[in-house]
């Protein structure tokens, strides 16, 4: 009985929502891009602004639902993965047209995939599809069926198509002809990008009304975050997609109805020690950094709760490992954040011959334990975290020197010269599937930051990770893949090559006049359901 | 107007004394994080409240002012000496030497300071203590800040070289180092003095700018750069007027330096 009532309420509220939305549709939605879009070609989008435009204008075969994290049909009504994960066959929606009225067919998908995989184009989106040597085979089976075969199996293949906006093979407008809810109507460099509603957009709401509800979207190019926030409070922009903790609290104090904390995101902050054998560090320091006990001790001496509470004003959560708790499927729920325990940290250090004497920790040979940590200058959150870690480590007799470097200098040190001791950086994660982390976990990978580009794994546990990552990447059974990746998480938790500190929350601000907004933890947090957003009457009039 | 100068000097002296006695006056160590009270309002324990990490703002202001007030004059002295050496020699020698040195100075002036500082900072060893990093920052400022002053000094030395008293000294048999040291240098002192006073607030401002970029003096040692960085964004203006005390003190001190400098220039 209770379940039936709940369903009834749900149906009624959905109906009312649709009615409300259709009642006030149209108007212009305003928000800010923080930089100039570098391209309108969806296959070349790499920067945030270009990706925003791709998301708003591009039609994709499959979309990852930002709330459920499942793959849902868009231009493809059905798909099937076969041939041990090498082939994906799509059945396409009929009767769809691009924004310039060109008909959509399997030929367009074939054209897009050919373009995507063209090595001359250097598409950043294509990297995830490059599974092995050889050509991609594309077979157009009928106007609405297509099969794409990759040279090697690709794990999580279907979800990768979330990033591939289909382009027309025949339209004279090329990439400007789109299948998404909006098309680029006007672009004034340095000022704004104006998107207009695509009259041929395929999706309709429950009452049969064509989406999107909002007539146009104006993306103002605004680098300054302060100005963006003032404009939001003045009602000149309708939302801020991603906020930091201080801005969030400011909005919370002034207008609580605008502030949205969607919870823990996929983004993490972590530190690691340089374990590169050829690095120009003294041998005794290399020995420290290669010791699991040393890394675990440092990890246990850091108060992650304080980092989350003080640095991120409570809008973060102590991190467990490489996967955020927000990644519902892939997170290993057996793991817990490393506890803050100075006594245990000192015990671990004692096992390695370290002794705390006169408030100074010394190794077996009598060297005082002192090291530097580098981070990128201008990021106040990382600087604050480093300062708090400095005090935490001072309590166990370790002297930490904080060095902030401009980003190019920092990258030079961590990727080429390896002239650093520890590094504190964050990882912005957009992809749920662990396959996207192959370039981090394989010991031969460039982004295996603590010891990259190894010819053969330097330690047994790195060899185990290599095997498990390769096994999960070649598997199709998601349960088996999950088992493999759970083990990777356990090894990383145990060995701590990366000391994961916190996962930040996904914070955003949305004007109450924007209807149907349900900020999610996945990017783009606020406008992931852009075609269903609507403007309240007041805002519609104002614009 | 003498009373204004006296007032400015007294304020500078008072501030300097307070900073030098920071170890006795400060209610807490500048780096201690009172983690239960981050961003606290002023209270009896924390006269200016605490910063975002719970560190006592008043203590940090005292120590930060000490760092900036001790090291900025030292850097200004270094740059003034370099300016005297380079500009004075070029102006005194004249001819091709002057042209070459001034061309080098122009080239030096055209260098993008900020990027140069960032590059030099990136090349320095990483494991340096905050105090050493502060000293290095100001040493860099001193080594890089001589060029503009050298041009002024060169122009002054050139006019002195052609003056009657130098001609008389030459006629009396003075030459070389003696002429430079005994006759030219004392007459360059007023210009050098003025350059010194100009450089002090300029270096304090530069360090503050570097601090805003996260460069400069390393944590946890406070400096005006790190103190002013709190006011960097709109979100800082959260109706906490005590946050503005470092800014107010900074403006007052720079104004005092300027007032003292103007008064120094007048007798010259």
Confidence of residue A19 (pLDDT cuts 50, 70, 90): very low
Between CA A528 and CA A162 the distance in angstroms is 12
Out of B53, B128, B235, name the one closest to residue A384 (CB). Answer: B53
Between CA A403 and CA B133 the distance in angstroms is 9
Q: What is the pLDDT of residue A540?
A: 43
The helix-helix angle for B185-212 and B113-123 (nearest 10°) equals 70
Q: Are B151 and B105 in contact (CB under 8 A)?
A: yes
Confidence of residue B265 (pLDDT cuts 50, 70, 90): low
Q: What angle (nearest 5°) sits at the alpha carbon of residue A470, between those of residues A440 and A453?
A: 40
Q: What is the pLDDT of residue A194?
A: 97
Average pLDDT over residues A115-126: 89
Task: Write out pLDDT tens, residues A268-318.
Answer: 999 999 999 999 999 999 999 999 999 999 999 999 999 999 999 999 999
Confidence of residue A16 (pLDDT cuts 50, 70, 90): very low
Between CA B80 and CA B149 the distance in angstroms is 7
Between CA A101 and CA A200 the distance in angstroms is 7
Start-to-end C-alpha separation, chain A: 46
- Residue B190 neighbours by CB under 8 Å, 6+ apart: B264, B265, B267, B268
User: CA–CA distance from A397 to each of A191, A349, A354 (Å)?
Assistant: 53, 11, 10
Of A370, A426, A379, the C-alpha closest to A401 is A370
Determine, for residues B235 and A249 on separate chains, whether the beta-carbon distance falls below 8 Å: yes
**Chain B residues lying within 8 Å of A377, measured CB to CB:** 213-215
User: CA–CA distance from A526 to each of A15, A206, A267 (Å)?
Assistant: 22, 22, 16
Q: What is the pLDDT of residue B237?
A: 59
**Chain A residues lying within 8 Å of B215, measured CB to CB:** 377, 404, 406
The helix-helix angle for B185-212 and B147-161 (nearest 10°) equals 170
Q: Are A166 and A62 in contact (CB under 8 A)?
A: no
The helix-helix angle for B185-212 and B130-144 (nearest 10°) equals 130
Determine, for residues B126 and A378 on separate chains, whether the beta-carbon distance falls below 8 Å: no
User: CA–CA distance from B132 to each of B125, B218, B221 (Å)?
Assistant: 11, 9, 10
Supply the mean pLDDT for chain A: 90
Task: Write out pLDDT tens, residues B21-43.
Answer: 999 999 999 999 999 999 899 99
Sign of the four-CA dihedral A240, A245, A251, A255: positive
In this structure, what token pair is assigned to residue B259? 């007032």
**Chain B residues lying within 8 Å of A376, measured CB to CB:** 214
Of A28, A195, A10, A181, the C-alpha closest to A536 is A28
Between CA A381 and CA A399 the distance in angstroms is 21
Confidence of residue B213 (pLDDT cuts 50, 70, 90): low
In this structure, what token pair is assigned to residue A52? 């925003």
Determine, for residues A390 and B35 on separate chains, whether the beta-carbon distance falls below 8 Å: no
Confidence of residue B234 (pLDDT cuts 50, 70, 90): low
Q: Are A217 and A195 in contact (CB under 8 A)?
A: yes
Determine, for residues A377 and B233 on separate chains, whether the beta-carbon distance falls below 8 Å: no
Between CA A326 and CA A312 the distance in angstroms is 17
Of A24, A23, A54, the C-alpha closest to A38 is A54
In this structure, what token pair is assigned to residue A453? 């580009």
Q: What is the pLDDT of residue A94?
A: 94
Q: How far is A329 from chain B, CA to nearest CA, in Å?
A: 35
Find the range with the poorest average confidence among A380-389, A437-446, B116-125. Answer: B116-125
Q: Where are the beta strands (DSSP E) in A222-288?
A: 239-240, 259-273
Q: What is the pLDDT of residue A155?
A: 82
Task: Write out pLDDT tens, residues B129-184.
Answer: 888 888 888 888 888 889 989 999 999 998 888 888 888 888 888 777 788 888 88
In this structure, what token pair is assigned to residue A2? 């209770």
In this structure, what token pair is assigned to residue A77? 């009504």
More confidently predicted of A72 and B205: A72
**Chain B residues lying within 8 Å of A250, measured CB to CB:** 234-235, 238
Of B137, B105, B97, B117, the C-alpha closest to B218 is B137
Determine, for residues B126 and A229 on separate chains, whether the beta-carbon distance falls below 8 Å: no
Confidence of residue A482 (pLDDT cuts 50, 70, 90): very high
Q: What is the pTM of this model?
A: 0.83
Confidence of residue A21 (pLDDT cuts 50, 70, 90): very low
Q: Are B67 and B15 in contact (CB under 8 A)?
A: no
Of A450, A336, A349, the C-alpha closest to A395 is A349
How many other C-beta atoms can be found within 10 angstroms of the C-beta atom of residue A520? 22
Between CA B132 and CA B117 the distance in angstroms is 16
B230: closest chain A residue by CA: A380
Confidence of residue A18 (pLDDT cuts 50, 70, 90): very low
Task: Write out pLDDT tens, residues A504-522.
Answer: 999 999 999 999 999 999 9
Q: What is the pLDDT of residue A6?
A: 45
Question: Residue B233: exposed, middle, or buried by beta-carbon count in 10 A (0-12, 13-18, 19+)?
Answer: middle
Sign of the four-CA dihedral A142, A144, A149, A150: positive
Average pLDDT over residues A163-188: 94
Out of A379, A386, A405, name the one closest to residue B219 (CB). Answer: A386
A108-112 long-range Cβ contacts below 8 angstroms, 24+ apart: A108/A166, A108/A167, A108/A168, A108/A169, A108/A170, A109/A61, A109/A146, A109/A166, A110/A138, A110/A140, A110/A146, A110/A169, A111/A167, A111/A168, A111/A169, A112/A43, A112/A164, A112/A165, A112/A166, A112/A167, A112/A169
More confidently predicted of B202 and A181: A181
Determine, for residues A253 and B238 on separate chains, whether the beta-carbon distance falls below 8 Å: yes
More confidently predicted of A226 and A167: A167
In this structure, what token pair is assigned to residue A265? 């995101």
Average pLDDT over residues B202-212: 77
Between CA A282 and CA B128 the distance in angstroms is 16
Q: What is the pLDDT of residue B104?
A: 92
Determine, for residues A247 and B127 on separate chains, whether the beta-carbon distance falls below 8 Å: no
Between CA B225 and CA B121 the distance in angstroms is 16
Between CA B145 and CA B206 the distance in angstroms is 10
The helix-helix angle for B147-161 and B95-110 (nearest 10°) equals 160
B54: closest chain A residue by CA: A310
Q: Are A237 and A231 in contact (CB under 8 A)?
A: yes
Mutate to test the interface with B, among A310, A312, A369 (most CBs of B within 10 A): A310
> Rg for chain B (alpha carbons), in Å?
22
Q: Are A145 and A92 in contact (CB under 8 A)?
A: yes
Determine, for residues A401 and B130 on separate chains, whether the beta-carbon distance falls below 8 Å: yes
B121: closest chain A residue by CA: A405
Nearest 10 degrees: Cα torsion A196, A197, A198, A200 = -150
Between CA A51 and CA A42 the distance in angstroms is 7
Out of B53, B121, B218, name the one closest to residue A401 (CB). Answer: B218
Q: What is the pLDDT of residue B183?
A: 85
Q: What is the pLDDT of residue A436?
A: 81
Q: What is the pLDDT of residue A310?
A: 96
Between CA A503 and CA A325 the distance in angstroms is 9
Q: What is the pLDDT of residue B212?
A: 64
Of A431, A436, A459, A458, the C-alpha closest to A447 is A436
pLDDT for B74 beyond 80 = yes
Residues across chain B: 268
pLDDT for A188 beyond 50 = yes
Q: What is the pLDDT of residue A55?
A: 96
B212: closest chain A residue by CA: A378
pLDDT for A394 beyond 90 = yes
User: CA–CA distance from B179 to each of B154, B164, B224 (Å)?
Assistant: 16, 13, 43
Between CA B12 and CA A384 the distance in angstroms is 32
pLDDT for A4 beyond 70 = no
Q: Are A457 and A468 in contact (CB under 8 A)?
A: no
Task: Write out pLDDT tens, residues A235-247.
Answer: 999 999 999 898 8
Q: How far is A337 from chain B, CA to nearest CA, in Å?
A: 20
Interface residues of B toward A, Cβ cutoff 8 Å, are: 31-33, 35, 38, 52-54, 118-119, 121-122, 126-130, 213-215, 218-220, 229, 232-236, 238
In this structure, what token pair is assigned to residue B7? 């007032």
- DSSP, residue by residue, chain B: -HHHHHHHHHHHHHHHHHHHTHHHH-SS-TT---TTSTTPPP-SS-TT-B-TTS-BHHHHHHHHHHHHHHHHHHHHHHHHHHHHHHHHHHHHH-HHHHHHHHHHHHHHHHS-HHHHHHHHHHHS-S---HHHHHHHHHHHHHHHS-HHHHHHHHHHHHHHHTSHHHHHHHHTT--HHHIIIIIIHHHHHHHHHHHHHHHHHHHHHHHHHHHHTT-SSPTTS--HHHHHHTTSSGGG-SS-GGGGHHHHHHHHHHHHHHHHHHHHHTT-
Q: What is the pLDDT of residue A224?
A: 86
Pair type for strands A259-273 and A422-427: antiparallel
Mutate to test the interface with A, among B218, B221, B240 (most CBs of A within 10 A): B218
A305: closest chain B residue by CA: B35
Q: What is the pLDDT of residue B262?
A: 66
More confidently predicted of B109 and B213: B109
Of A383, A377, A404, A381, the C-alpha closest to A247 is A381
ipTM above 0.90, yes or no: no
| Coil, helix or strand at residue A361 | strand
Residues across chain A: 543
Confidence of residue A539 (pLDDT cuts 50, 70, 90): very low
């Amino acid at each position: 009985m209770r379940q039936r009532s709940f369903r009834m309420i749900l149906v009624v509220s959905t109906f009312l929502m649709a009615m409300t939305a259709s009642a006030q549709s149209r108007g212009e939605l305003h928000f800010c891009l923080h930089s100039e879009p570098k391209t309108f070609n969806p296959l070349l989008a790499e920067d945030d602004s270009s990706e925003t435009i791709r998301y708003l204008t591009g039609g994709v075969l499959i979309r990852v639902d930002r709330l459920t994290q499942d793959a849902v049909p868009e231009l493809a009504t059905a798909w099937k993965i076969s041939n041990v994960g090498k082939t994906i066959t799509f059945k396409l929606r009929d009767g769809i047209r691009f924004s310039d009225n060109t008909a959509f067919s399997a030929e367009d998908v074939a054209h897009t995939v050919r373009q995507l995989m063209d090595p001359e184009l250097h598409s950043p989106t294509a990297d995830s599809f490059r599974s092995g040597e050889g050509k991609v085979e594309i077979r157009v089976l009928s106007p609405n069926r297509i099969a794409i075969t990759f040279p090697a199996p690709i794990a999580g293949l279907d979800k990768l198509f979330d990033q591939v906006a289909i382009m027309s093979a025949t339209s004279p407008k090329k990439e400007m002809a789109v299948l998404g809810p909006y098309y680029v109507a006007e672009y004034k460099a340095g000022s704004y990008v104006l998107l207009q509603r695509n009259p041929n957009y395929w999706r309709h709401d429950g009452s049969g009304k064509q989406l999107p509800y909002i007539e146009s979207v104006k993306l103002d190019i605004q680098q300054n975050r302060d100005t963006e926030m003032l404009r939001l409070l003045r009602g000149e922009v309708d939302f801020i997609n991603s906020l930091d903790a201080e801005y969030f609290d400011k909005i919370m104090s002034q207008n609580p109805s605008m502030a949205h904390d969607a919870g823990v995101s996929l983004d993490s902050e972590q530190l690691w020690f340089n374990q590169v054998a050829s690095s120009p560090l003294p041998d005794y320091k290399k020995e420290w950094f290669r010791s699991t006990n040393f890394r675990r001790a440092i990890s246990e001496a850091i108060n992650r709760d304080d980092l989350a509470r003080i640095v991120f004003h409570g809008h973060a959560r102590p991190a467990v490992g490489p996967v955020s708790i927000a990644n519902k499927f892939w997170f290993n729920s057996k793991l817990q954040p490393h506890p803050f325990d100075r006594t245990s940290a000192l015990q671990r250090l004692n096992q390695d011959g370290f002794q705390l004497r006169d408030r100074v920790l010394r190794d077996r040979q009598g060297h005082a334990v002192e090291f530097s940590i580098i981070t990128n200058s201008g990021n106040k959150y990382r600087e604050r975290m480093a300062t708090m870690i400095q005090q935490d480590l001072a309590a166990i007799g370790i002297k930490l020197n904080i060095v902030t470097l401009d980003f190019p200098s920092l990258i030079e040190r961590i990727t080429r010269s390896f002239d650093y001791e520890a590094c504190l950086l964050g990882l912005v994660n957009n992809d749920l599937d662990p396959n996207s982390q192959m370039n981090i976990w394989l010991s031969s990978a460039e982004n295996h930051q603590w010891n990259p580009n190894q010819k053969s794994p330097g330690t047994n546990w790195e060899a185990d990770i290599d095997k498990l990552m390769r096994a999960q990447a070649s598997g199709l059974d998601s349960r088996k893949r999950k088992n493999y990746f759970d083990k990777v998480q356990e090894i990383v938790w145990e060995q701590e090559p990366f000391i994961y500190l916190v996962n930040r929350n996904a914070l955003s601000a949305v004007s109450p006049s924007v209807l149907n907004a349900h900020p999610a933890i996945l990017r783009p947090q606020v406008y992931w359901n852009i075609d269903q957003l609507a403007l309240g009457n007041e805002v519609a009039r104002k614009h | 107007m003498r009373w204004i100068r006296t007032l400015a000097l007294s304020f500078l002296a008072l501030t300097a004394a307070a900073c030098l006695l920071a170890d006795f006056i400060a209610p807490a160590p500048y780096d201690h994080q009172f983690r239960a009270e981050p961003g606290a309002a002023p209270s009896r324990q924390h006269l200016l409240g605490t910063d975002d990490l719970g560190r006592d703002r008043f203590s940090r202001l005292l120590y930060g002012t000490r760092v900036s007030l001790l090291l900025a004059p030292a850097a200004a002295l270094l740059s003034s000496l370099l300016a005297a050496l380079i500009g004075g020699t070029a102006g005194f020698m004249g001819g091709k030497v002057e042209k070459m040195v001034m061309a080098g100075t122009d080239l030096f002036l055209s260098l993008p300071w900020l990027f140069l500082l960032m590059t030099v900072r990136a090349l320095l060893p990483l494991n340096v203590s905050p105090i050493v990093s502060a000293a290095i920052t100001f040493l860099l400022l001193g080594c890089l800040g001589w060029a503009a002053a050298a041009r002024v000094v060169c122009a002054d030395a050139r006019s002195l070289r052609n003056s009657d008293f130098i001609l008389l000294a030459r006629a009396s048999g003075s030459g070389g180092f003696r002429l430079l040291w005994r006759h030219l240098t004392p007459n360059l002192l007023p210009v050098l003095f003025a350059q010194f006073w100009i450089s002090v607030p300029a270096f304090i401002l530069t360090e503050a700018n570097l601090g805003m970029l996260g460069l400069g003096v390393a944590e946890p040692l406070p400096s005006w750069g790190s103190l002013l960085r709190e006011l960097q964004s709109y979100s800082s203006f959260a109706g906490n007027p005590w946050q503005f005390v470092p800014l107010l003190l900074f403006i007052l001190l720079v104004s005092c330096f300027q007032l003292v400098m103007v008064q120094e220039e007048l007798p010259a």
